[in-house]
Structure 1
Amino acid sequence: MLPDYDAATVAVGEEVMEGSLDEITSRFERSVLTQLYMNYPSTRKLAKRLGVSHTAIANKLREYGLSQQKKSEE
């Protein structure tokens, strides 16, 4: 469960807030997946950590080009 935050207390840079809601959300989602994929190296472990299906994670990693990135690092 996520902690409760008062939106006014969370500092967010202006550059992060540029673009549409979809663009902002996509950048945030990509950042979360990039960081967590290092600690949860399989799609099944990452899916379990985030509480979503393995298929959803596989699709998101593919969408953001992160599945190929992981392979090239190995």
Structure 2
Amino acid sequence: MRNTTPDRDTIVRDAPSADELNAHIRARTSKLLAESEKIAAEARWYPFVAVAGIFAAAVGFVKLLD
């Protein structure tokens, strides 16, 4: 049976460089900031939508009583 474990030279050669790691960290940070901004924007308008839905349901209920 053949040994499939990579040798030390292969592991070192395939390791990402510091520049690649920094780029990866910057990309993930940008993604997290964008997601946070999206959640914050949704949190601002969500109460208005919920109140509008409750108001529409109340109007519909009153119309059913007429």
**Same topology, TM > 0.5:** no
Instruction: Pick 1 or 2: higher relative contact order, CA cutoff 8 A, min separation 6.
Output: 1
The structure number with the bigger radius of gyration is: 2
